Chains A and B, each alone.
Chain A
Amino acid sequence: MGFKEFCFKKSLWLFHFGGASCNNCDIEILDCLTPRYDVERFGMQLVGSIRHADVLLVNGSINKKDKVRLLEIYRQAPKPILVVAIGACGCTGGIFAEGNVFAGPVDKIIPVDAYIPGCPPKPEAILAGVVKLLNKKPEKQKTA
């Protein structure tokens, strides 16, 4: 692992994109920032602007209107950016997969680096996903 890669992985700033979510995943993501789980231990921070983000957290089912916005957000993000799909809806579509406004799971729209399934995933599961993301072998970033 190179020095740049090391610095990048030590300081991941998170940007949270909620699709047509039922809010359970959003609340579980916020749980990770609380004293009990505290992702700031790994240098992670929630940021408000996509321009500062290193990780794009996507949850909720992505419908046709969300798809445009998700693509827009992904295009605006400074590269390299990691994408994490959270929850059953984000990973596969969940119970909405057959719906007529459903625009496909996240990985059909933008490249995804990690999947955290669950409905909603527990904070422990999200932390486990984060650790797997940190230990993942670096691959060539796609410059979309």
Chain B
Amino acid sequence: MGKELFYFFVYPGFLFIAISGGILSWFDRKITAWLQFRKGPPFLQPVYDFLKLLLVKETILPAKGSKITFLLAPVLSVTGAMLAGILIMLPATGINTGFIGDIIVIFYLLTIPSLTYIIGALASGNPLAAVGASREMKLIISYELTFLLIVAAVILKADLSISMFDIIALQQDGAFIGSISGILLFVVAILTLQAKLGLVPFDMAEAETEITHGSFIEYSGSAYALIKLTKYIMLFILPVFLCTFLLGGFRLEGIQILWSVLKVLGIVLLLTIIRNTNPRVKIGQAMRFFFLWMNLIAIIAIVLILFGL
């Protein structure tokens, strides 16, 4: 019992995921600063941001909105992200849960944060938040099919195994990325992660300059702190998910720990560079991009897998 609680709350669960997410968020901001020839924030900046929002700032409730839904949405988003994170991290750190079919559950849990952003934004009663929510909804419709195709392709590549642990075990001889279909899937997956994380080419749901943080415009204080925490968590678990899918997962002994860390940092670095070198696209462009091009590449990858490439 104590062991399970330790797994869920300390390592590789809640505490570990939250701290790693905070570090990655700092990494993202620091790399952004370096790309712009700036110095960037100090290492503990995510901690200061989070604690300031949680402890110091006042939480304002919307006068003309649904207050309970508004406050419940961030709690649910953290819960969903954390459950998905634990299910991803347990196999990724080599703990066999014996849970067959956890990929399907993770796929559904990973949509919960986006859904709760929509619910919270619509509960706030702010017109700009409603615009943000509608954009977020369209974005989910566009990237979810691509994400599902990636998951399907990886399952197909792993001889129809739907357990994360088996997929990692299958990649011990060679990671899935070492083939043509693997490379195509990696490209598609990086761009899907970008949309799932709401980073710049696809951040129209919280466009700072046009609809002033969109979905999150009414959030302040501890409710916004929970949303920040969700963002930190998602910034950690989605790259880890991609690592276990295509890059062969982690091995936690000796020098391999360094490689594992470098894999995650590499993916986040790629996401940050894409974020800093691209303008924000319109929602219609994003939908066309995912429906047409990304789905096409994913389907080509699936066909290649069927031919054994």
Contacts and interface: CB of A to CB of B under 8 A. Distances in A.
A26 to B, nearest CB: 14
A79 B58 contact: yes
For the residues of B in contact with A, the DSSP-based class is loop
Contacts of B208: 47-48
Contact of B40 (A40, A48, A49): A40
B212 A38 contact: no
B255 interface: no
A4 B56 contact: yes
A43 B49 contact: yes
A78 B60 contact: yes
B51 interface: yes
A35 B37 CA distance: 6
Interface residues of B, number: 33
B55 interface: yes
A76 B217 CA distance: 12
Give the interface centre of A47, A49, A52, A76 by most chain B CB atoms within 10 Å.
Answer: A49
A41 B212 contact: no
A8 B56 contact: yes
Contacts of B42: 10, 41, 43
Interface stretch (B142-150, B218-226, B267-275): B218-226
Contacts of A76: 60
B118 to A, nearest CB: 18
Given A38-B39, A40-B40, A7 B56 contact: yes
Given A7-B56, A79-B58, A40 B38 contact: yes
Contacts of B44: 10
B41 A54 contact: no
Contacts of B49: 11, 43
A43 B56 contact: no
Contacts of B293: none
A47 to B, nearest CB: 7
A4 B55 contact: yes
B6 to A, nearest CB: 28
B40 A52 contact: no
Contacts of A54: 52, 57
B41 A41 contact: yes
A76 B36 CA distance: 33
Interface of A: 4, 7-8, 10-11, 34-35, 38, 40-41, 43, 47-49, 51-52, 54, 76, 78-80
23 contacts: A4-B51, A7-B51, A7-B52, A7-B55, A8-B56, A11-B45, A35-B36, A35-B37, A38-B33, A38-B39, A40-B38, A40-B40, A41-B40, A49-B212, A51-B220, A51-B224, A52-B220, A54-B52, A78-B57, A78-B220, A78-B221, A79-B57, A80-B56
